[in-house]
Chains A and B, each alone.
Chain A
Amino acid sequence: MIQFDQVSKRYEGGHEALTDVSFHIPRGEMRFLTGHSGAGKSTLLKLIMVMERASTGQVIVGGRNLSKLPVRHIPEVRREVGVVFQNHQLLFDRSVYDNVALPLIIAGYGHRDVGRRVRAALDKVGLLDKERKNPITLSGGEQQRVGIARAVVNKPALLLADEPTGNLDPQLSAEIMHLFEQFKQVGVTVLIASHDLALIARMPYRLLTLRNGRLITAGGADNGPE
């Protein structure tokens, strides 16, 4: 599903965020991406979402070579990837329902379809009763779950999450992680960037560990049910 092939990313100004990174995440598997802050986790996720392009090497997602992807095809890729952002990226000028519905409206779903899918996604994250509320009135954990509902509402084959438990207490963090596991169980490929090592250690999935832009483990901590 995700294939990195000797990928390097050098930013303007000479800073090299990723150096010669290669790994492969097969369809339907779950991985954690760890590393100290500034190790290149965010850059790696940005390459998958085509917010950045690799300086060298190839990034292939869902059979598409993103290094050669024309700009006009970027939206298509982003529609097929659900993303949970660290800072939620919710819009506070509209309801929870409208936030979650946004990817469906962009993709051109009919009115009835949108309603059905949005409610299914909100039900999944346990926020069905909050659909009319403005997300600004919700707690941090609830906002994060709205973000997750928006990421999965379009039933993407790939789900990315950037520090999804960043500001949450351990109990809430565990709940969020459990949610991601459920998506993995229905065949979604999941990649979660996190530095919450205590939480990750309790979960049976492989790690991709970055240090100074280099991948030092890809397949370590191999105690996961593959």
Chain B
Amino acid sequence: MAQNKLNKRRLGQLQTPAARKDVKGARRHKTGLRDRLASYRSHHRQVALDSLQRLLRRPAATSLTSLVIAIALALPTSLYIGLNNIQAVSSGWEGAARISLFLKANVSASQAESLRRSISARDGVQAAEYISPDAALVEFRASSGFGDVLDQLDSNPLPGLIVVTPREANISAAAVTELQQVLAKLPEVDLAKLDMEWLQRLNRITELGRRLTIALAGMLAVGVLLIIGNTIKLAIESRRSEILVVKLVGGTNAFVRRPFLYTGFWYGLSGGLAAWILVQGGLWWLRAPIAELSVSYQSDFHLLGLGVVDSVLLWLFSGSLGLLGAWLVVGRELRAIEPS
């Protein structure tokens, strides 16, 4: 009891301001803010370098992990490049939009000719060409190979046709569609057909492809997160004793976390670099056959690759993905490692 009383009295003493000042005094030898900041930066440099060296010391395991990440990243990147190329090609084709006006059967050649003149004088129309039923029949006979069948018909089944070419400046899909609708209401016109419809269909398919690519990229990004998370988990396990000692001598969680976050970042970045090499290699491999194909279509199409901006974005994305993957497991794993 006496002991307890004594202890209580001393406890009181310990908590007087004087005693507290004394406690601070023991810490007075700490360095200034600028020194600490410089030391913090140099520690970051050191940890970044050290975690990179650790990876390089085990090249086989590291490159295997990087390659898995690279494949997961290269797949959506390739799809993205493919979609970009489809869009580049189809935007060249938009200039080829034509509106075909099929005339009613009772429209005579002279009526058709005056209609053609009035249409070609319209705003937004570059040219209008009249193809008479007879001319159309000749062309059809020549190109279709159904000449014999046509001979058995009593009369020419083909209608008169006016082919309208919109002006270049007016070439947006919406404007062309509007022109088509106006022309369709003319009394002489039976049917106004926009040759761009297949192009719009292509655009819709491309949009579908874009969304599928995003969904695939999302799933593969989650896969990369899991791969990196698992790799970091193993790294943490292999450095368990070190973590325990660091915690015992007063290392904060941030201090313990740091090398693993850097490791995750390096894994992500190396995966991104490897993905870039895979994609560029694939493009190089495809370049020659695509050039030949485009020559055979008399097109000056060139395969679009990964530009500088896209490449940097890929690396930034992969690096951040690595950091995030590490961050997701590190907190939980490190909390579980407590000295006891």
Q: Is B31 positioned at the interface, with any CB of A under 8 Å from its CB?
A: yes
A103 touches which one: B244, B249, B338 (CB < 8 A)? B249
* 8 extra interface residue pairs, beta carbon distance < 8 Å, beyond A23-B3, A63-B20, A102-B245: A3-B14, A5-B8, A6-B4, A75-B252, A79-B249, A79-B250, A91-B245, A111-B42
Q: Are A26 and B10 in contact (CB under 8 A)?
A: yes
From B26, B31, B245, A62 is in contact (CB under 8 Å) with: B26
Query: Across chains A and B, which 6 residue pairs bring their CB atoms closest together, nearest first?
Result: A79-B250, A78-B250, A157-B26, A103-B249, A75-B252, A63-B23
B250 touches A106 (CB 8 A): yes
Is A142 in the interface zone, CB < 8 Å from B?
no
CB distance from B236 to the nearest CB of A (A): 15
**B6 adjacent to chain A (CB < 8 Å):** yes
Q: Which residues of chain B are within 8 angstroms of A113 by Cβ–Cβ distance?
A: 31, 35
List residues of chain A with CB within 8 A of the CB of B42.
Answer: 111
Docked-complex contact B255 and A89, CB < 8 angstroms? no
**Within the complex, which residue of B11, B246, B249 is in contact with A3, where a contact is CB–CB below 8 Å?**
B11
Q: Is the CB of B251 within 8 A of A62?
A: no
B22 within 8 A of A: yes
Q: Which residues of A contact B8 (CB under 8 A)?
A: 5
The A-contacting residues of B in range 102-119, CB under 8 angstroms, are: none
Chain A at the B interface: SS class: mixed
CB-based A-B contact count at 8 angstroms = 106
Convert A144-187 into 0s and 1s, putting 1 for each residue whose CB lies closer than 8 angstroms to a CB of B: 00000010000111000000000000000000000000000000
Give min CB distance, B322 to chain A, whole Å: 24
Shortest B335–chain A CB gap in Å is 9
Per-residue CB contact flags for chain A residues 81-103 toward chain B (1 = under 8 Å, else 0) read: 00101000111010000000011
List which A1-42 residues lie within 8 A (CB) of chain B.
3-6, 22-24, 26-27
- Using A5-B8, A63-B20, A107-B250 as known contacts, say yes or no to A51 and B339 having CB atoms under 8 A apart: yes
Residue of A nearest to B10 (CB): A24
Assembly CA distance A94 to B55 (angstroms): 17
CB <8 Å contact, A108 and B249: no
Contact B245 A89 (CB under 8 A): yes
Residues of A within 8 A of B249 (CB): 78-79, 83, 102-103, 106, 150
Q: Of A24, A77, A108, which contacts B7 at CB under 8 A? A: A24
Kindly supply a per-residue 1/0 record for chain B positions 1-30, scoring 1 wherever the CB is within 8 Å of any chain A CB and 0 otherwise.
001101110110011000110110011011
Distance in angstroms between the alpha carbons of A80 and B244 in the assembled complex: 17
Residues of chain A within 8 A of B247, CB atoms compared: 75, 78
- Which of A77, A91, A157 is in CB contact (< 8 Å) with B242? A91
Q: Which residues of B contact A110 (CB under 8 A)?
A: 31, 35-36, 38-39
Q: Point out the residues of chain A lying under 8 angstroms from B287, CB to CB.
A: none
How many residues on the A side are at the interface (Cβ–Cβ under 8 A)? 46
Which residues of B are found within 8 Å of A102, using beta-carbon distances?
A: 245-246, 249
Given A24-B6, A62-B23, check contact A78 B11 (CB 8 Å): no
14 residue pairs from A and B, CB less than 8 Å apart:
A3-B7, A4-B7, A22-B3, A22-B7, A24-B11, A27-B22, A51-B339, A78-B247, A83-B248, A103-B249, A106-B249, A109-B35, A110-B35, A110-B38
Chain B residues positioned under 8 Å from A156 (CB to CB): 26
Asked whether A108 and B39 contact (CB < 8 A) given A78-B250, A89-B244, the answer is yes
Asked if B39 contacts A51 (CB within 8 A), the reply is no
Q: Which residue of A lies closest to B34 (CB)?
A: A110
Given A78-B248, A91-B242, A108-B39, A22 contacting B27 (CB threshold 8 A): no
Q: Which of B10, B31, B242, B244 contacts A93 (CB 8 A)?
A: B242
Interface residues of A in 51-72 (CB under 8 A from B): 51-52, 60, 62-64, 72
Q: B211: which A residues are within 8 A, CB to CB?
A: none
Q: Is A218 an interface residue (CB 8 A)?
A: yes
How many angstroms from the CA of A62 to the CA of B26 in the assembled complex? Answer: 10
